A and B are shown apart, each in its own frame.
Chain A
Amino acid sequence: DAGVIQSPRHEVTEMGQEVTLRCKPISGHDYLFWYRQTMMRGLELLIYFNNNVPIDDSGMPEDRFSAKMPNASFSTLKIQPSEPRDSAVYFCASSLRGNSNQPQHFGDGTRLSIL
């Protein structure tokens, strides 16, 4: 079975550039989550969607970050303009439902470096 697919796996770009991270959830899953992992802050939830609709974006750091889910099989996380402090590993996860009996399935992440 195909798991959650993220692209690119690695991204290196200069400060000020726009960065777009992509995620394909597991087919049939109706929840999608974006997380960020840094040494300082650990793993933190940025935003999640239910049936393509954003439900909670309280973890999004600031207006430079935006996320969309145009359809059930694709989501993007965009940073514009990017800053060095955005350097982190970004994970996408999906689940069948949001209740506590359904595990979240994570992709392998995008390692983002902003120079």
Chain B
Amino acid sequence: DAKTTQPNSMESNEEEPVHLPCNHSTISGTDYIHWYRQLPSQGPEYVIHGLTSNVNNRMASLAIAEDRKSSTLILHRATLRDAAVYYCILRANFGNEKLTFGTGTRLTIIP
């Protein structure tokens, strides 16, 4: 599996936007970029995924660089409930059922 690199930790103020970066310089043309998050004492939770174009859903936005070597998860207005570990994961389009979790970014929200 292609590898992703994320900062170990980030802090953000409540009600401010948060940009969580992910580098994946060895991404292949068929790899999707997935984001999951894990709140304290819970299982991971799907956030968003994309291939080439930027994506939006009710939870977040995903901005993908034109060369696809990096991406950014955007939380438009962070709340205390967004404090979690965020994982950026690459998944091949076919025949890859597995999720390979790295160490993720621990996001702290400051009230």
Q: Contact: B97 with A91, CB < 8 Å?
A: no
**Size of interface on A: residues with Cβ below 8 Å to B:** 25
Q: Contact: A108 with B43, CB < 8 Å?
A: yes
Contacts of A104 in B (CB 8 A): 44, 46, 99
Q: Is A56's CB within 8 Å of the partner chain B?
A: yes
Partner among B44, B45, B98, B102 whose Cβ is within 8 Å of the Cβ of A56 = B98
Q: Is A71's CB within 8 Å of the partner chain B?
A: no
Given known A-B contacts A100-B49, A100-B92, A43 and B97 have beta carbons under 8 A apart = no
Partner among B43, B93, B100, B101 whose Cβ is within 8 Å of the Cβ of A109 = B43
Q: Contact: B100 with A103, CB < 8 Å?
A: no
A to B contact number (C-beta, < 8 Å): 59
Q: Contact: B49 with A91, CB < 8 Å?
A: no
Given known A-B contacts A100-B92, A103-B49, A45 and B43 have beta carbons under 8 A apart = no
Q: Contact: B32 with A98, CB < 8 Å?
A: no
Report the Cα distance A109→B32, complex, angstroms. 26
Query: A109's closest neighbor in chain B, by CB?
Result: B43
Taking the closest CB of chain B, its distance from the CB of A4, in whole angstroms, is 8
Q: Contact: A106 with B44, CB < 8 Å?
A: yes
Interface string of A23-48 (1 = CB under 8 A from B): 00000000101000000001111001
Q: Contact: B49 with A42, CB < 8 Å?
A: no
Q: Is B24's CB within 8 Å of the partner chain A?
A: no
Q: Contact: B101 with A106, CB < 8 Å?
A: no
Report the Cα distance A44→B45, complex, angstroms. 15
Interface string of B82-100 (1 = CB under 8 A from A): 0000000001111111111
- List 12 A-B residue pairs with CB atoms under 8 Å apart, sorted by A's residue number: A33-B97, A42-B101, A42-B103, A45-B99, A93-B43, A98-B97, A99-B93, A100-B31, A100-B96, A101-B49, A108-B41, A109-B42
Residues of B within 8 A of A (CB): 31-32, 34, 41-46, 49, 91-103
Given A43-B101, A98-B95, A100-B32, 4 additional A-B pairs, CB 8 A = A99-B97, A103-B34, A104-B44, A108-B43
